[in-house]
Structure 1
Amino acid sequence: MTSMTVEPAESVVSRQIVVGVDTHKYAHVAVALDHLGARIAAQHVAANREGYAQLEAWAASLAGNGRVTAYGVEGTGSYGVGLASFLRRTGHRVIEVNRGDRRSRRSNGKSDTLDAEAAARAVLGGQAVAVPKSADGTAEMIRQIKIARDTARKAKTSAIVTLKALVVTAPADLREQLAGLSDKALIDRCASLRPGAVTSPTASAKHSLRTLAKRFQALQSEIREHDTILDDLTHAHSPTLRDGIGIGADTAAEVLIVFGDNPERVHSEAAFAKLCGASPVPASSGMTNRHRLSRAGHREANAALYRAVIVRMRFHQPTIDYVARRTVEGLSKRDIIRCLKRYLAREIYQAVMTDHRARQRLADHASVKRPRFDAASF
């Protein structure tokens, strides 16, 4: 696509620049700032590999003999994932930038160029420091399978809820045959119905119930297939994590999705706890000194921690003893669960990082070239 230069670049021998990128489905808009915050130029490129290369070459030409210190990219998990991956592979520092402040947008207006400039200024000013996920390994595979599984589970729930509602309004003779059955028996009975020609309300009800029941069965089979894949992937990717009490394939998958394929971007166990919404938030005022539960963070990961904690509270003796001791000390069940989620976040972080370091050692060992046999040396 054509270049859109807002301010012509000066002939500079060497300069340090930061590039902000506002990403879209078919095109990206970039704005370059120098190290003092002065706007240099803007560029409009296609959202494909040719456009990514064009953007990199444009930024390098603006830097001259200097360098591009960082790229601030919006939407690194959606429209910007391809650009972020390309820039990272070519050795550039990529920073994930959140959407701009709405109050600022109302005051100063909104355009793609302004959004790209805001992204660059967020990086230059230090407001944006997060390293995006690399999305090029097993964690990305887990994320994709998990999406398919979760949507299938929602559709399965919707199918049986709709089926039961249809039974309530079915003709009396059919409703009486299906009333009082367990979920499994109801699905099996409805799946075996033979509606014949749809010439009456009873036949149409049988047809609908049979369709919903078969949909439920198909989705159930699909979910089992997804669960098998997730179990294999999580065991292979993080065996230490899977060895934890109460951490099954679903919980491990949710946690590994949060870490991504470059878990070193989560710099500490405290940062991981905050990312999961499991760290306490100060709620003090005046003479009081207290904390409250965090409502921020990755809610699916927080729910995964909660499920694992509930399992441990029932079947893990050290956790059972901890709950009893803290209850005697006067803590509510809600506060005890908050503490346990914080402890579990620390344990998970250590397990994931242990497996990550082990993979790095194996990769480093494999990359070392073995000495070649030289007959002339003997």
Structure 2
Amino acid sequence: MLTVGIDPHKKTHTAVIIDPSGDRLGQAVTVPDDADAVVKLREWASINASGQPVRWAIEDGRGMARRLATALAVTGESVVWVPVRLMVKARNHTGPRGKSDSLDALAVAVAAQRPDNQKYLARHTSDEPGADLAPLVDYRADLVAQRTQLISRLRWRLHQLDAGLEPASLTTLKAPHHLAQQLHTYPTGTLRDVLLANCDDLERLTTKINDLDRDLAARTHDLCPTLLTIPGVGPTVAATIIAEIGHPARIRNAAAFARLTGTAPIDVATSGTDRQRLDRGGNRRLNTAIHTVALTQARHHEQAQAIITRHQHHKGRRGAMRILKRHLTDVVYRTLTTDLTTSNNTTT
């Protein structure tokens, strides 16, 4: 089988096709990232493949190439994602030295062909459940960031007007309304008018965030109802997890999921002392989601508290939390895999 390696970018995609021995066939091609990209790539591949079967390997940059991968999958093509680290490793040992789009595409194809890399390749499907949730999760994160920035400015301006005006919380929908009522009792002035405008903006942002939360709750309940039953996993956390992984089929096992979330332990040995620490790598959004679940369970869940108590004496508080996070990663992965598999079977 021939392999097409694609180096995706925002405006263009560069492709190279190689045979099973790793030799390049024909010339590399670069196509604009538009509606005709798939047609042009398939025509180019058909000419160079001469009727032989082709597998498409794309560097794992889903923000850049999700639309391209889905369009290829819809036409019946076999599409896999190649992790960036495998591409870099192949590039360092393949072809001429240097850095270019065609060399990166060649490295993607070579990495996809190597037998040792097969277990790391994720097959792309056109029905990834996270595809619809990802933009909503991103939009909510942007709105929350805007609200946090607005609240910081609002608190400082309230302190300038009157130190006693600062409420304990400004993230509820009632808070800006009550604050505006208090501000109307102060003499008219520029600072008061700005604060009233800030209250209107804060109420608008909170309304949008609450609407998104309800939407995410409904969507995640349809996709992963069992995931939401895990203590500490709310709709936002569940939606973040689903959006970031796309589909659990691309993760080969729970250990790989732990590495992706940054909860897999790393051995640290120095001066005759052997210990472990958490991974500093991985997907930071997934890591934050697992961290949120762990903190919630550590406060309110008896089984999680028992795990911390059992390991805290030997591992310390941080070590016990690390063990709890690793345990929660397994629970989330099993539940997510079961939910989405059942959902897909029901749909088909």
TM-score (norm 2): 0.85
Q: Deviations over 1:113-139 (max 9, x none)?
A: 222223222323455843265464542
| Cα distance in 1 for residues equivalent to 2:303 and 2:163 | 50
How many residue pairs align between the two structures? 335
Match of 1:191 among 180, 185, 192: 180
Preserved CA contact (<8 Å) 1:156 1:216: yes
Opposite residue 53 of structure 1, the aligned amino acid is V
Opposite residue 283 of structure 1, the aligned amino acid is V
Q: 1:49 to 1:75 in 2, by over 3 A?
A: farther
Q: Percent identity?
A: 27
Alignment of 1:1-378 (within 5 A): 16-40=1-25, 41-68=27-54, 70-74=55-59, 76-97=61-82, 98=84, 101=88, 108-125=97-114, 129-131=120-122, 134=125, 136-169=127-160, 175-176=161-162, 179=165, 181-184=167-170, 187-188=176-177, 191-192=180-181, 193=183, 203-260=189-246, 262-284=247-269, 287-328=272-313, 330-364=314-348
| Cα distance in 1 for residues equivalent to 2:162 and 2:340 | 58
Preserved CA contact (<8 Å) 1:269 1:349: yes
| Cα distance in 2 for residues equivalent to 1:190 and 1:132 | 52
Q: How many angstroms does 1:179 deviate by?
A: 4.2
| Cα distance in 2 for residues equivalent to 1:20 and 1:181 | 56
Q: How many angstroms does 1:248 deviate by?
A: 1.0
Preserved CA contact (<8 Å) 2:134 2:244: no
| Cα distance in 2 for residues equivalent to 1:166 and 1:135 | 49
Preserved CA contact (<8 Å) 1:238 1:352: yes
Bigger radius of gyration: 1
| Cα distance in 1 for residues equivalent to 2:134 and 2:24 | 38
Opposite residue 82 of structure 1, the aligned amino acid is R
Opposite residue 203 of structure 1, the aligned amino acid is G
Q: Deviations over 1:284-335 (max 9, x none)?
A: 358544322111111111121121122222222222223222234x221111
Opposite residue 94 of structure 1, the aligned amino acid is V
Q: Secondary structure at the match of 1:85?
A: helix
Q: How many angstroms does 1:149 deviate by?
A: 1.0
Preserved CA contact (<8 Å) 1:159 1:213: no
Q: 1:189 to 1:177 in 2, by over 3 A?
A: farther
Question: What do you get for the CA RMSD once the two structures are aligned?
Answer: 2.9
Q: How many angstroms does 1:161 deviate by?
A: 0.7
| Cα distance in 1 for residues equivalent to 2:277 and 2:24 | 43
Q: Secondary structure at the match of 1:281?
A: strand
Gaps of 5+ in 2: none
Gaps of 5+ in 1: 1-15, 170-174, 365-378
From the two aligned structures, give the one with the greater helix fraction: 2
Q: Secondary structure at the match of 2:315?
A: coil
